[in-house]
Structures are given as structure tokens and as C-alpha cells.
Structure 1
Amino acid sequence: MITKFLQSLEDPKQRLLGPNIWFMKWIGLILPNNIFLKIVYIFIHELVTFFVITQYMAIYLVRSDLDQVVENVKISFLSIICVTKSNAIIFTQKRWKQVLDYVTESDEYEREHQDKIRGEIIDKYTKHCRRVTYFFWGLLFVTFLTVISSPLLKFLSSQDYREGFRNGSEPFPHIYISWMPIDKNHSPGCWITVIWHASMCSYGCSLMSAYDTCMIVIMSFFGGKLDLLKARSKLALGTSGNRISDDEIDKSIRQLYHEHILLLKQSRLFNSLLSPIMFLYVALCSLNLCAVVFLLASATTATQKLFLAVFLLFGIAQLFMYCWQSNDVQIKSEQLMYGLYESEWWVANAKQRKSILMLAGQFRIKHVFTAGPFTSLTLYTFITILKGAYSYYTLLRK
């Protein structure tokens, strides 16, 4: 059943981004052309934004209780990142569509003109994109179940809490801490709040899942495109058994030059859209991981430890996928010009060697994805964030 559903998401017109585009349209990150539906989606996005504001209003009201603040900050940080992602893509639709159109058209071109070697590269990054997409969807679903079920399991696993709830000394266990204009600790307000929180959690997890998987797939495509350019540059002068004419060599080099410029232009556009969001995420990630580790160390029950471990796994996995994929693109961009040196350049004439040198100079330009103006998204950044989170944790423990 699940296999049939996933197969139904495949689009012959978008063989790489098919499932990702479907999810982004379904959740409203890609707005429809219908004016009424567009207004409805924007209203829902801003309703989620309002909910995040109420979370911070509630945290401010309990600011004197450090344990309660730390417990709720771990989710509130993710909430603000979530609404930042959704609002950023909603209000920059035209620029995002430029990137998505380029990825779709460029991928289709490579598939239509593939040979055996290029076909292997295409199959490799396509399978990688599907694995990452479905893994992350599954991870977000598990995280969603963990978040919405944590109050219930807290109630069931703690005898003291149940006694306190019956005698009125403990409040009703909610999914989030947030401001509500009704009494959220007594019926019917408590159940209205539960439905409201569950709805916001479901939509927020869907937003993050759709956004993050699409971004990772786009970054993976950039890496695959660099591999394809490298493979084609090896054959720019033909092979020893199949020499090509000067006009064909000139055309091949011009095409590689043009495609790399277009790739560089689109990767920079993509980075300009993603970089501010990743800066916010990197800035908050250390504090968020610190809060989760702090709660994990102070948890008293196996259920609490399990839920916090799942939450910690999600935070680390999300950050790692961005940093690893970006690091992979950077390495491939640094190795791109080696494809020219693996061609039969020694049999080329002076004019052809000059063209090869100019193309090699173009290929030396690096593709780097950044988190704001301060750091690049690399594995080194990932390790630095983990070290920072541990430093904050040791400071908080003292």
C-alpha cells in the first residue's frame, strides 16, 4: 500500500522533483493560481505564525521557572524556524520557482541526452534523493507522534502527576505551552486546546518535511550536475578511437562553459534564498540541542528519555543532512576541473588548449552554500555546532 502511494507521486514531467513538488503544493508552500485558494493558504500560514507568537507569550509568562522554560524552548525554537521557512518561501515565490524550473529543465535535458556513464550518475542521485526524502518524511512522522503523545504518556507513566492532576495541584497536560483566550485547564477549553495544538503540530511538521526535503534534493541535484559536467568534460575532445572535428570540440567546450555559468547563477540564487534561513537555524540549533540534552540528562523515566532521544535525533539529522549535502557539493565543485585534465588534451592543437584553459579557469569557481555571511554549511560547521551545544549544556548544568 505504501509502495503504491509513493509510486503514485512520481511525475513523468518532473522525474526528480515529482514527490517533493507534490508535497509542497499539497501543504501550500507552492501557491496555486486560484486566487481564493491562494488566500486560504496564506491565511493558514499566518495562523501558524500567530500560534508561534502565542508560544513565546506563554514562555514569557513562566520565565521565572527555568525548568519549564527549557522544556518548552526545545519546541519553540523549531516552531520559529518552521514559520520562518514557510513565510520566506511564500513571499519569494517567483525566485523559488526560477530555481525549481531550472532543476526540472536541466534534469530532463540530462535524462534525454544520457549515455551509459551519465545514466549511472543520474540514477545514483535520483535514488539518493528518494531515500533522503522518504527517510525524512518518516523521521518527521515519528517526531510528530512523539510530540503529540508526550503529554498522554507523561500522565500515564507518572503516579505523582496523576495524583496531582486529580487534586488540582497539576495542570492539564498539553502538547505545547501557549497562550489561549479560554480556560485551557478545564473542559471544554482543555480539549479545544488539545485539538488546536495537534493541528498546529501536524501542519508544522508537514511544512518542515516538505521544505527540508525539497532543499536537500535541490542541493543533491547541484552535486549530480557537477558530476555530469565532469564526466562530459572528459570527452570534450573525443576519445582516441573516436576523434571529433574542431567545430564539434568548440561546440562542446562552449556548451560546458554555458552550462556551468547557468549552474553557478542558479546555485547563487538558491543560496541567497536559503542562506538567511540557515543562519537562523544554525544560530538557534546549538541552544535547541543544548536544551534537549539538558532535559535528557535530568529525565527520570524511560519514556521521557525515549521521547527526548527521538527529538535529539531529529535535530541532529536535520542539521547533518544540510551540512553533509552542502559539503558534498563543495568538494565536487573543487574537483570539477580535473575532468578536463583527464581528457586527451595532449593531442589538442594550440587553439583548443587555449579554450580548455579558459574552461578550466571557469570550473575553478567554487559552489559554496552558506548560513548567512558568517559561515559555510560544511561538516566542520556541523561539528562546531555540536561542540557549542555541549558547551552550553555544561554551563547550564553548573
Structure 2
Amino acid sequence: MVLKFLDRLEDPNNPLLGPTVLALRYGGLWQKDRVKHFLYNLVHFIAFLFVVSQYVELWIIRKNLEMAMRNLSLTMLSTVCVFKACNLMLWQNSWKELIDYVSELERSQLSKNDPVVNKIISDYVKYARRVTYLYWALVTATVVTVILAPLFIYLSSPNYQESIKNGSAPYPEIMSSWTPFDRSRGLGFCGATLYQMLACFYGGTVVANFDSTAVVIMTFFTGQLKVLSVNCERLFGDGNELVDYDEAVKRITECHLHHYYMVKFSSVLNSLLSPVLFLYVIICSLMICASAVQLTTEGTGNMQRIWIAEYLMALIAQLFLYCWHSNDVLYMSNKVDDGVYSSAWWSQNVRIRRSLLLLGGQLRRPIIFTAGPFTLLNMATFVAILKGSYSYYTLLAKKDD
């Protein structure tokens, strides 16, 4: 049943990005129809108002440290969600150009029926599917946990239930946000809860679609660098193949253009992701620290600890996905020129060898993704963020002692 559903997500026009493009369309982040365009934008605007209401509530409860930290942990994540949605909406043409390049290149390569290239494409497509579906499952689990956490907290604490019955405590909330009516009882509570549930689903949809699309395209660049390396290695066969000058120049030119367009579109992807990831890296550093403090606070109940632990795991998983796959692209871009020197270059004349040297020099240009203008997006950055968050946590812990 599940496999049949997943098969329906495939699109021959988008060999790699079929499921993600379909998810973007159904999520209102890939718009064509004018009527749907208006309705989807209305949803995005309502989500923006919800984030504003979270900041208003944060200002109101700023003196209560425990409530403020819980509000802040979700408000920051909501801010990133809206920022990601705006990125996809405002720069949709750039995203479309990038996705069209990915799909057109793969269709062109698959049509040549080269078994080596087809195997590389098949391998990274399968890997991308596993990452996408597992990440969607993680985001779904996080959304469900956030929505059900207040219910579990209520059921797990008899004292809290008694406090609610006698009116000394409000009903538990999914998220802390300001409303112009009393949301602690009756219809006001039901309306605020419904609004917060829809906001959770909206945020989960945006995060799942944006992150999976970005990570899958990073996987594409890693796979295509492998294809380029293999093509460079096979430029002149095993050395016994007779390759005339025109054919050799044609093959070198194809490798040159392949790398040129990868560098060009990786720059497009970086320009789209860098502002978002810069904001996310800052927020993630703060939220990992805040979540760790909440986990070790004595007043935090067991169900709250489970909710915070799952939320913390989702934060780290998002950051890890970006850093890991960006690091893979950088690693492959640094070794792609090995294919030139592994080829049968010695079988060619001096003119071809000079062209090969130029090609090898061009292939040494690395493909790097950044989080803003200050840091590279790689595993070293990931480890540095975790170390920094731990340092902030130990500082706060000592202050509390």
C-alpha cells in the first residue's frame, strides 16, 4: 500500500525531483493557477500573522523565564518556516530554473543508455528517495509530537488536572501565541487550539518541502560530480582506442561545459539557501542550548522532557542534513579532477595534453555552500555549532547553580 503510494509520486520528467516537486505544488509553494495562487498566498499571510502573534505573546510573558523559553523555542522555528516559504515564493523563478536544469540534464544522460552513468544516477536517486522519505517521517513525527504534547502533559499529571478543574491553571497549549480573546477556556480555547494545530501542519509542510528539495539538489551535485569524474577518466578509453583530434576536443568540451553549468547552478542554489541557513544556524545554536537547559531543569516533567528531546533531535537532524550533504559536494568537487589524470592522457599529442591541463585547472574550482557571508556549510561547522551550544549551556547551568 505504502509502496504503491510512493510510486505515484514518481515523475519521468523529473527523475530525481519528482516527489519533491509534487509536494511543493500541493503545499502551495509552487504556484501556477491564479485562484489557487490567491488562496495559497492567503494561507501564507495568515501564517505570517501567527508568527507575529507569537512575538507579541513572548513580549507579554517575558518575565516568566520558563514560559518565555518554551515560547521562544517554537517562535524561532516558526520564523524560519515563514522565511523558507517566502524564499520559495519570492524566488520561484530561480528555483524553477534550477530544477529544470537538474531534470533536463538527467533526462539527457539517461537517454544515452550509458550503463556506467545510469548506475551512478540510479544510485543517487535511490539515496535521495531514502533521505526524503525518512526526513518527511521525522517532520511528521515532530508535528504530531508538538500537537499531542499538551494532551500527554495533561493526562500524565493528576495535580495539573486538579488545578485545571478548580480554575487555578489554564488548559495546556500547543504553542504560545497571543489572541485578542480569552483562550484559556471554552470556545476561545478551542479556536486557539485549532489555529495552532493548522499552524503546526503548515510549518511541517514548509520545512519538509524546502529542506528535502535543497538536500536532494545537493545530492544531485555530488552524483553529477561523480559522473563528470568518470567521463574525464574515459576521455580516451584505455589508451588503445583511436581518438582523433576533433573527437578528443569534443569530449573535453563536453566535460568543460558539464562542470561550468554545475558551478553556475550551484551558485544559484547557494544564493537561495545562504540567507536561510545563516538565520537557521544562529537560531539552531540558541535553540539547542535552550532545549538542553529545559531538559535539565528540575521543574520539567517527564512528558515535557520527551517533547523537548524530540524537538531537539529534529533541530539537530535538520542542521546535520545540510552540513553532511554540503560537505559531500565539497569533497567530490575537490577530487573530481582526479579523473583527468587517471585518463589515458599519455596516448594523446601535445595539443590535447595542453587542453587537458586547462580542463584539470578548471575542475579544481571547488563547489562550496555557505551559511551567510561568515561560515562554510560543512561538518566542521556542524561540530562547531554543537560545541558552542554546549558551551552556552554549561555557562547557563553554572549561573543557575
TM-score (norm 1): 0.98
CA distance in 1, matches of 2:336, 2:112: 20
After superposing the two structures, state which structure 1 stretch, 294-303 or 215-224, moved more.
294-303
Q: Is the 8 A contact 2:58 2:68 kept in 1?
A: yes
2:214 is aligned to 215
> SS of 2:320's equivalent?
helix
2:363 is aligned to 363
CA distance in 2, matches of 1:306, 1:66: 20
CA distance in 1, matches of 2:127, 2:141: 21
Q: Which runs of 5+ in 2 are unaligned?
A: none
2:272 is aligned to 273
Q: How does 1:44-59 map to 2 (within 5 A)?
A: 44-59=43-58
Q: Is the 8 A contact 2:142 2:311 kept in 1?
A: yes
CA distance in 2, matches of 1:380, 1:46: 37
CA distance in 2, matches of 1:384, 1:73: 23
Residue 245 of structure 2 corresponds to residue 246 of structure 1: yes
1:200 is aligned to 199
Q: Deviations over 1:125-152 (max 9, x none)?
A: 1011000000000001110110000111
> SS of 1:242's equivalent?
coil
CA distance in 2, matches of 1:250, 1:10: 37
Residue 11 of structure 2 corresponds to residue 11 of structure 1: yes
Q: Deviations over 1:219-247 (max 9, x none)?
A: 10011111100000001122234332221
Residue 170 of structure 2 corresponds to residue 189 of structure 1: no
Residue 286 of structure 2 corresponds to residue 257 of structure 1: no
Equivalenced residue count is 397
Residue 68 of structure 2 corresponds to residue 75 of structure 1: no
After superposing the two structures, state which structure 1 stretch, 276-285 or 300-309, moved more.
300-309
Q: Deviations over 1:346-374 (max 9, x none)?
A: 11100000000010111011100000000
CA distance in 2, matches of 1:328, 1:304: 36
CA distance in 1, matches of 2:79, 2:100: 28
Residue 65 of structure 2 corresponds to residue 66 of structure 1: yes
Shift of 1:307: 1.9
CA distance in 2, matches of 1:161, 1:22: 44
Q: Which runs of 5+ in 1 are unaligned?
A: none
Shift of 1:4: 1.1
Check 1:371–1:224 CA distance in 2 against 1; reply closer, same or farther (3 A cut). same
Shift of 1:282: 0.5
2:311 is aligned to 311
After superposing the two structures, state which structure 1 stretch, 157-166 or 227-236, moved more.
157-166
CA distance in 1, matches of 2:212, 2:379: 19
2:156 is aligned to 157
2:351 is aligned to 351
CA distance in 2, matches of 1:216, 1:179: 34
CA distance in 2, matches of 1:323, 1:128: 17
Q: Deviations over 1:83-135 (max 9, x none)?
A: 00001110111111111111111121222224222122111110110000000
After superposing the two structures, state which structure 1 stretch, 116-125 or 270-279, moved more.
116-125
1:97 is aligned to 96
CA distance in 2, matches of 1:284, 1:277: 11
Q: Deviations over 1:233-288 (max 9, x none)?
A: 00112223433222111100011111211111111011011100000000111101
2:262 aligned partner, one-letter code: L
Q: How does 1:119-198 map to 2 (within 5 A)?
A: 119-198=118-197
Q: Deviations over 1:139-187 (max 9, x none)?
A: 0111011000011111111122111111111111110110112210111
CA distance in 1, matches of 2:203, 2:302: 27
Structure 1 residue ranges (4+ consecutive) displaced by more than 4 angstroms after TM superposition: none
Q: Is the 8 A contact 2:53 2:178 kept in 1?
A: yes
Q: Is the 8 A contact 2:120 2:223 kept in 1?
A: yes
Check 1:330–1:114 CA distance in 2 against 1; reply closer, same or farther (3 A cut). farther
2:88 aligned partner, one-letter code: I
> SS of 2:63's equivalent?
coil
CA distance in 2, matches of 1:40, 1:273: 25
2:153 aligned partner, one-letter code: K
1:333 aligned partner, one-letter code: S
Identity %: 40
Shift of 1:15: 1.3
After superposing the two structures, state which structure 1 stretch, 300-309 or 380-389, moved more.
300-309
2:105 is aligned to 106
